[in-house]
Structure 1
Amino acid sequence: MMKKKTAVVLGLLAAFSSSGWAQSSVSLYGILDVGVRYTTNSGTTAASKGDSLSQVIPGGMSNSRLGINVTEDMGGGLKAIANLEHRLNSDTGTQTAAEFWRQSWVGLESKDYGRLTLGRQYNVLFDVYTSTYSSFKYSPYIEIFRPETVMAMAGRQSNMVKYLAEAGPFRGELQIGAGEGASPDKTLGGMLRYAKDELALGAGVLEVKDTAGRKVRGLTVGGAYTAGPLYFNLSFGQNKFDFGTDALQAAYTANYTVSPSSRLNAAGLDVKKRDMMAAGFTYQMSKELNLGLQAWYAKQSHHRLSGESKAGFVAAVADYAFSKRTDVYFEADYSKLGGAVAFDNTAKTRVGLSSGIRHRF
């Protein structure tokens, strides 16, 4: 009798195991984006600051990437999930950062209890911005010119535990970072969004603390509204840095733009408080053609300098989709810096023109 019961139990376990494996999936995804860009006032020194620069760029609208998604349906509304994502410079084939995997996390997802993920992943500020009031309806931001993502404090954190839950039109996230390894910065943050029909509203906060207890605090709040072919967005972001957080400022303020020719001077990275307003719209003229216009205004105070510095940015994009996977884009942007902040060649203004091809798979 005991042997018979054991056989039945083993048979059931084998059946569940086979069922779980049968419902597992591993999918490969990616984006390849290569463009050309022309930028004014891009000389390498103050004496040559008026020189222009023409270059092939590794992604005008999107950073090229190759990723792997893993899902295993374990029954009862429970899934195991995992992600690995590599970012690359599509013009040279090199990787974009020191870490090979820009995302690397594993977790559990329950239909009733939400999702828990552990590893290197997007932070709550980046999540609420891109999911709720992104700059453009068809593409969250312009990869080569994205002042807004600077306010998301690097966008990703390592050693993170993140919990996501949804109830009707509401979504909430909490994140906590252990603070370990080569960059021992502890993180704690959360976000809440509401999205129903044409309206989406959201807010997020994030705190980063170094080993000396010094803090960086970030917040963002905003909304978006869709009216037929028109999409409008409006948002506000703020970053505050304690004195002495130079390493964190270098990591989390970065530059207003990410073009290789758009690095800021030392004053640009000396931030006590930085505020940024953003507003814009996308208009879908046809099934294939989208037009977008976005503007940003920022001001910041300094720890080591008196007075405030200011910056204004505007970008216009036309995107034409040949298919669901392949599109071409044309982009124009303008930057104007004031106060102590300038580009690293002392220029205060810059015009950029980009065009490229993007393919998603």
Structure 2
Amino acid sequence: MARQQLLLASAIMSMVLFAVVTIPADVRHALSSHQPLNWAVSVVVYTALMARRRFPIGTVAVAVIGSLVLMADGMAYPLTLPAVFYMLYSIALASGPGRTLTVGVAVKAALFTTSLITHPGITGFVVLLWAALAVTTGFAARSHRAYVAEAEQRARRAEQAREDEANRRVAEERLRIARELHDAVGHHVALINVQAGALACLIDDEDRTPARESVAHIQRASEEALEDLRLTVGLLREPGLQAAEPAEPVPGLDQLEELICSFAGAGLRVTSEVTGRARPLPEAVELTAYRVIQESLTNTRKHADCATAVVRLGYEPGALRLAVEDEGKADPPGRRRVPEGHGIVGMRERVAALGGRLSAGPRPEGGYRVFAELPLRAARIEGS
């Protein structure tokens, strides 16, 4: 960039210097002689400049022809040469290298040849140098404009990329918070709904012990729902406004028994089966497995007409496989399938984020089955 500016400044200074040194004598001669031809040709050439935008090649041709005529008439440096140099500059500024080279070579050859014939000596080389400086100056200015335009375009693209990245991160964060609200708070609210329904049936009984147990379950589940809601909403705070408090542990498979017990209080008996050697897993896999099991059991308690479910965990060298099955009634033939809700969509998104796969659907022998395979290697890469 600095080199182009230096070249442009040097070209302009050189043209001014040559003009100051060589042209004044011819200009004084032309002004004193009052030759009609000089004035007529100069007026035609400079009038033609008004059409330079629509007819650049025609305009430069008129300027060159006028200069050649005046050279042949005895002027070493005709008054029309500035118009020729200006047109060379304009063409170099507005046209590509090919067109500039073609026009520049033709004009230089015509001027140089005529100068050598009419005024042998240094005159032809001076005119040739002026023409070369005009082309170089125009080309340098064109390169500078292109550089500035490209820099502005890159800045706009970079700004757009930053904006797109910010929007993408916001969308991902909103989706993550939505999943957490649905999985964590939705689970407790579902249990509250079940216990409230049971309480409505038990409230008129003489034995109030079951009713008290339902109330206790409702109170405990509501407290846990409020706590989960408080923690999740805290994610929406600005960093400077977030309270300084210890982070809540990320739910994992070490809390599976506690999760199973919470469903036992709601009337769903859950058993667990583990194959392979249980071991610590990446945090992302632990959280995803926990949420899939939690959502599957919540759906079983809300929608399945059964009181038992099975959670199967399979620890393999490169993956964790889990399945949640219940013994609900099989759908009758021809029954329209219910569209997937937010829970299954959220499970699919969680599993897909780790590069795993999830399937959910009714079993042929009755009931419902959710199966997920979570690769461990992809989770390590994501967490690293």
> TM class by shorter-chain length?
under 0.3
TM-score (norm 2): 0.22
Higher helix share: 2
Larger Rg: 2
Larger RCO, structure (CA 8 Å, separation 6 or more): 1
Higher strand share: 1
TM-score (norm 1): 0.23
